Amino acid sequence: MPLVIAIDGPAASGKGTLAKRLADHYGLPHLDTGLLYRAVALALLDAGLSLDDHAAAARAAEALDPEKLDDPRLRERVMGEAASKVSAVPEVRAGLLQWQRRFAADPQGAVLDGRDIGTVVCPEAEVKLYITASSEERARRRHRELAGRGETASFATILADIEARDARDAGRAAAPLRMAGDAVRLDTTQLDADAAFDEARTIVERARGSAR
């Protein structure tokens, strides 16, 4: 039986790191669905179009080139903000939904992380995790990550960005960020990467055991 692991949570909660480690551990393909929305935003910006041009955003989503997901610009802080804006466009989400579901339909299974994986993209996933952490801790992590890439931004600015993204993601009409009713919540505020991975793996094994 394919193993599909759906991982949701707010920005900088550690879900991406956990998703990659779980995918490696179980030998499954991994998709950071946030990159899809960043790629749509980047396509608009590269074309000189406004992020508020919903029709253009929908067209960009339909024409998404998977090879563009390796563009290093997608990891920049500004692209996270841009992605949060285009992800609120219902037509963009609809355009990317089948793309994500095809990825999750891999015969062996898959690990997907994002904002609406357990609630919308893969509601029947065998394992659902909701990864979270305090906004202050998430801002500290993002600050360290950006500094490691040579990007400069104050802690206060990053915290404000994260809180604004939280509000935008939770408040949008289309597929808002929320924890699926059958997901397991994992707060990583006090956990390092290894401890968080151990907890997540325990949750996965417990869920797989229950499914059997």
Which pLDDT belongs to residue 90? Answer: 93
Give dist(CA 145, CA 207) in Å, integer. 32
pLDDT value of position 211: 61
186 φ, ψ (degrees, to nearest 5): -130, 110
Q: How crowded is residue 163: how many other Cβ atoms within 10 Å of its Cβ?
A: 16
**Residues of the chain under the 70 pLDDT cut:** 211-212
Q: pLDDT of 111-150, one tens digit each?
A: 999 999 999 999 999 999 999 999 999 999 999 988 888 8
Distances (CA, A) of 161 to 36, 143, 156, 177, 206: 20, 11, 9, 16, 35
pTM beyond 0.85: the answer is yes
Domains of the chain are 3-211 (3.40.50.300)
- With helix as H, strand as E and coil as C, how does 97-160 read? HHHHHHHHCCCCEEEEEECCHHHHHCCCCCEEEEEECCHHHHHHHHHHHHHHCCCCCCHHHHHH
* 8 A C-beta contact, residue 74 and residue 42: yes
Residue 38 has what pLDDT?
96
pLDDT at 77: 84
